[in-house]
Amino acid sequence: MEGAGLENKDISAVIFDIDGTLVDTFEVYQNVFNQGIAPYGVAPVAQEILREYLAKGLSLRQILQNIFPGPIDNETYAACRTDIINRFKEAELDEVKPFPGAEELLGHLQQKGIKIGVATGRVSSCEDEWIRFARLGLDRYISAIVTSKEVQNRKPAPDVIIECARKLNVPPENCIAIGDTVSDIIAARRAGSMVAAVTTGHEDEELLLKEGPDILFHSLSDLIVYLERNL
């Protein structure tokens, strides 16, 4: 654990990112992404390249435009997007799992009376995300979910965090926003929230530390230990 710390802060809510923070989706997503682009003659995208694109908060269309040899028309984009999304929905039923310690952490926060929200860069509907969290057995801990579909600007803009704090009825400054990328850190800081980063996702630890989160954790289990001592 590194950073300035969150001791003696007035914490009423914790707002989580999803991918790379609560849920381990990267390898599954990489597989279905490369399957989805293969019919268009595009070479598979290496793990480190796709991680970089996701860490920057690029939309699927922006990622595809970076790897396709020329401009993508709307019809091609829509077909490719639908294929990737459908492949992911099918694969995640059996292959996507929460990170170790996720349920224990959410249960600990709930017992402490801390509200729990989710603010994700995904552009899926909130209804879809509630279904996913129900499948994972985590929905009972969560009070609000906001996706990028509901706001004007994606991370690193603060929109999803601000909207999630509003739904939780907690001022952003009384929220800890937890994510795994530089975009997550920037979004949390712009929202005026306390900032926690985890090294479980897309981003290099050194890059996360350069953005100056209040605290950095190497696992959700580390976060449980920290909160037990400080909440």
2, part of any domain: no
The Cβ of residue 196 has, within 10 Å, a number of other Cβ atoms equal to: 27
pLDDT (tens digit, 9 = 90+) per residue, 205-221? 999 999 999 999 999 99
Together in a domain, 82 and 176: no
Domain co-membership, 125 together with 68: no
Summarize the confidence of residues 188-212 as an average pLDDT: 93
**CA angle at 41 for the pair 63 and 154, rounded to the nearest 5°:** 10
Residues 112 and 167 placed together within one structural domain of the fold: yes
Among residues 54, 57, 135, 128, the alpha carbon closest in space to that of 86 is found at: 128
The total domain count for the chain is: 2
- 59 and 102 fall within a common domain: no
| Rounded CA separation 214/182 (Å) | 13
> Which residues are bridge partners to 179 per DSSP?
197
The strand pairing partners of 14, in sequence order, are 116, 176
Share of the chain above pLDDT 70, in %: 97
Query: The domain that contains 107 carries what CATH number?
Result: 3.40.50.1000
The whole-number pLDDT of residue 51 equals 87
Looking at 70, 95, 120, the residue that finishes a domain is 95
**CA distance readout (Å), 201 to 12, 69, 115, 117:** 25, 28, 23, 19
Residue 5 has pLDDT above 90, yes or no: no
Average pLDDT estimate for 139-145:
98
Could you tell me the pTM of the whole model? 0.88
Is 32 found in the same domain as 19? no
pLDDT for the residue 94? 87
Q: Tell me what the pLDDT averaged over the chain comes to.
A: 92
Residue ending a domain, choose from 65, 95, 125: 95
Nearest Cα residue to 148 out of 138, 161, 139: 161
% of the chain surpassing 90 pLDDT: 80
Q: Is residue 18 located within the same domain as residue 86?
A: no
* 139 part of a folded domain: yes
- State how beta strands 13-16 and 175-179 pair: parallel
Determine the pLDDT at residue 10. 87
Strand order in the sheet with 13-16: 144-146, 115-119, 13-16, 175-179, 194-198, 215-217
75 and 18 in a common domain: no
Task: Read off the CATH number of the domain in which 48 is found.
Answer: 1.10.150
**Residue 60 belongs to some domain of the structure:** yes
Q: Tell me what pLDDT residue 2 has.
A: 61
In a domain? residue 3: no
Report in angstroms the alpha-carbon separations of 68 from 28, 61, 65, 71, 75.
21, 10, 5, 7, 14
119 and 194 belong to one structural domain: yes
**Does residue 4 register a pLDDT over 70?**
no
Q: How confident is the model over 23-70, as pLDDT tens digits?
A: 999 999 999 999 999 999 999 999 999 988 887 778 899 999 999 999
Whether residues 202 and 124 fall in one domain: yes
Residues 122 and 217 grouped into a single domain = yes
- Give residue 223's pLDDT band: very low, low, confident or very high (50, 70, 90): confident
pLDDT tens digits, 60-118? 999 999 999 999 999 999 999 999 999 998 998 889 999 999 999 999 999 999 999 99
* Phi-psi group of 171: left, alpha or beta (phi > 0 → left; psi -120 to 50 → alpha; rest → beta): beta
Mean pLDDT of 11-22: 95
Final residue of a domain: which of 71, 95, 119? 95
What is the domain range of residue 30? 26-95
Whether residues 223 and 151 fall in one domain: yes
Whether residue 114 sits in one domain with residue 83: no
